[in-house]
Amino acid sequence: MRILAVNAGSSSLKLSVVDDNDSVVEAQEVGGDADPIAALKDFASPAGEVDAVAHRLVHGGAAVRHATLVTDHVRSQLDAAVELAPLHLPPALALLDAARTSGNRPQIVCIDTAFHARIPRSATTYAVPAHWRAWGLRRYGFHGLSFAWSSRRSAELLGRPSHALQIVIAHIGSGVSACAVREGRSVDTSMGFTPLEGAVMATRSGTVDPGALLWLQEHHGVSVGGLTRSLEHGSGLVGLCGLSDVRDVEREAAVGNAACAQALDVYVHVLSRVIGGLATSLDRLDALVFTGGVGEHSALIRGRVCARLGVLGLPQTLLAADGDAVIGLPDHSPAVVVVTAHEDVEMAREARRVLAG
């Protein structure tokens, strides 16, 4: 069974065809000003016949919590989740609608929050009034497809079964989050009710004191819409130094750009604090796993994070990474691992499970 995986992220569209052996037989990444719907339609032709289409959705809201076959009823339920992930869901749902109108292939939505569905209530509960919680205010967590794949793949690289490992995975891309995984299951994660919580990201702030946001509204007249736009699109690295791509920030910092150097300091400091906090949800730390575009390719970020986390016993000397690899020194514990993100393979697996009933 060949599955077309449609992965609409916050800054790009990734399309790939995955075969029965979990091999990616064709792939394309679309970014910039390209029309994603046109790219999807163009891609479907050279990809050959596929049996089903799997769509990554950052959030399914309260109603759609697991990988699900899309019916008209399911599609109507997904609209309610848009307010929870306004940066990601509108383009992803537009692609879902386009795919549903072209052919009779089953469409399956794969939900990024699903991997975190069984996190303990102590880690999902906000200390807010009970009637707020009754409205559904809780921590959901995101990047679940990436974490699920990385958990399995890092166990293979370490030569140990997933159920014997306790690890923290850091997914570092345009969006950034981390997850504590015990015995193959998520037990804590850094993103919350929306993908805004947690670490500093490309254009998103990460955690900000809610009192500061109330102060901005009361004393500076910043509207709810203004807060949303600024926190989603004008914060993070771009808010600190005007650049959103870590590669550009690293390059500028290396030639003396003080704002970029400070942005990297903040970025690494907050990410390290997030990872360190998540480690307290484990009994021990067997490995720190880096994935996502930055996690896979930035030796600088990996090295600086491990340096900050020496208190957890992480090695201070790392090997170069060329694809999936254990980059800590041999026999060092905790290990440090780099895993190439393959959300598409995880989506294909989930789609097959749904279609198999």
- At a CB cut-off of 8 Å and minimum separation 6, what does 329 contact? 315, 317, 319
Tell me the C-alpha distance between 264 and 248, whole Å. Answer: 11
Beta-sheet strand order (sheet of 335-338): 185-189, 176-182, 166-172, 287-291, 335-338, 325-326
Phi, psi of 140 (to 5 degrees): -100, -45
CA 323 to chain centroid: 19
Sign of the C-alpha dihedral computed for residues 21, 348, 342 and 8 taken in this order: positive
- Residues facing residue 5 across a β-bridge: 16, 54
> DSSP code of 329?
P
- At a CB cut-off of 8 Å and minimum separation 6, what does 318 contact? 299, 302, 303, 306, 327, 328, 336
- At a CB cut-off of 8 Å and minimum separation 6, what does 35 contact? none
Is 112 annotated in the active site? yes
Q: Residue for token digits 């975190």?
A: 116
Q: Which of 42, 72, 112, 209 is catalytic?
A: 112
Tell me the C-alpha distance between 40 and 25, whole Å. Answer: 16
Catalytic residues: 112
